[in-house]
């Protein structure tokens, strides 16, 4: 059996852009520039001869065709991601080493305190570190870094998060992750943890 498949990297850009409702957001996730995402999506649309997004100056929205197309693509990627994680785990048999910058540590978030604590969680062990994405290089001492700014993170995976400080104020933080790790079990566990904490403190 032979498959008729569109450009797969374009498909990935499409899925990410749809999820973020933004080419810029997708670009952060994919560690490329917004222009690259724009080109990938356009190439996909050309290959399909079908428009997937409406573009306006401020936002993108899915066309009916895009809406129809997306769920299957999402399922397919979930399937691939799950199988990959099962066959070749991203962080086999160890915890994700999370760095937390002094700024954030000082804010005294309850969740973060739990992560830095004696044993961390099953999947994560936190530590206070300098605010330096350079610690994330291959072979470095960190797998991910939670900080306030997204500066100097070219080529790194970004997730924007809200962190609840001790005084119940909300901080806009950025979880910077080494590519190749982003999306593995431990990383998902971390993102979930932070998202739940933010959601529960309304």
> Among 15, 5, 4, 9, which residue's Cα sits nearest to residue 53?
15
Rank residues 85 and 103 by Cβ distance to a copy of itself and give the closer one: 85
Residue among 91, 138, 167, 156 at smallest CA distance from 147: 156
Q: Which does 59 bind (CB under 5 to 8 A by kind): DNA, a copy of itself, none?
A: DNA
Q: How far is the CB of 127 from a copy of itself (least distance, A)?
A: 23
Which span (97-105, 147-155, 165-173, 185-193) binds a copy of itself, by CB under 8 A?
185-193
Binding mask 110-149 for a copy of itself (x = CB under 8 A): ----------------------------------------
* Alpha carbon distance 156, 160 (integer Å): 13
Which residue's CB is nearer to a copy of itself, number 15 or number 105?
Answer: 15
Site pattern 44..73 for a copy of itself (x: CB under 8 A): ---xxxx--------------x--xx--xx
Residues written for the chain: 202
State yes or no: residue 165 binds a copy of itself (CB under 8 A): no
Rounded to the nearest 5 degrees, what angle is found at the Cα of 58, between the Cα atoms of 57 and 60? 90
Question: CB neighbours (10 Å) of residue 185?
Answer: 14
- Among the listed ranges 110-118, 134-142, 146-154, 179-187, the one in contact with a copy of itself (CB under 8 A) is 179-187
Give the separation between CA 26 and CA 63, rounded to whole angstroms.
18
Distances (CA, A) of 75 to 41, 71, 78: 19, 6, 5
Residue 33 or 50: the one with the smaller Cβ distance to a copy of itself is 50
Phi-psi sector, 31: left (phi>0), alpha (psi -120 to 50), beta: left
- Return the C-alpha torsion angle 10, 136, 20, 193, nearest 10: 130
Helix (H, G, I), strand (E, B) or coil at 59: coil
State in angstroms the smallest separation of the CB of 37 from a copy of itself: 15
Residue 178 engages a copy of itself in binding (rule: CB under 8 A): no
Q: Which residues bind a copy of itself (CB under 8 A)?
A: 1-6, 8-9, 11-12, 15, 19, 29, 47-50, 65, 68-69, 72-73, 75-88, 90, 157, 159, 180-184, 187-188, 191
């Amino acid at each position: 059996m032979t498959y008729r498949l569109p450009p797969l990297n374009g498909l990935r850009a499409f899925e990410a852009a749809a999820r973020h409702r933004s080419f810029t957001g997708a670009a952060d996730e994919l560690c490329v520039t917004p222009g690259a995402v724009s080109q990938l999506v356009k190439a996909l649309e050309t290959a399909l001869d079908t428009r997937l997004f409406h573009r306006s100056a401020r936002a993108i929205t899915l066309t009916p065709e895009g809406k129809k197309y997306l769920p299957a693509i999402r399922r397919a990627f979930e399937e691939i991601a799950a199988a990959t994680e099962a066959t070749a785990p991203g962080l086999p048999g160890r915890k994700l080493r999370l760095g937390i910058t002094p700024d954030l540590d000082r804010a005294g978030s309850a969740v973060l305190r739990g992560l830095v604590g004696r044993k961390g969680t099953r999947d994560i062990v936190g530590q206070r570190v300098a605010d330096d994405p350079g610690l994330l290089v291959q072979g470095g001492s960190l797998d991910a870094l939670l900080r306030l700014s997204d500066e100097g993170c070219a080529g790194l995976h970004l997730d924007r998060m809200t962190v609840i400080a001790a005084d119940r104020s909300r901080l806009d933080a950025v979880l910077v992750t080494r590519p190749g790790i982003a999306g593995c079990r431990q990383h998902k566990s971390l993102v979930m943890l932070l998202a739940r904490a933010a959601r529960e403190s309304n």
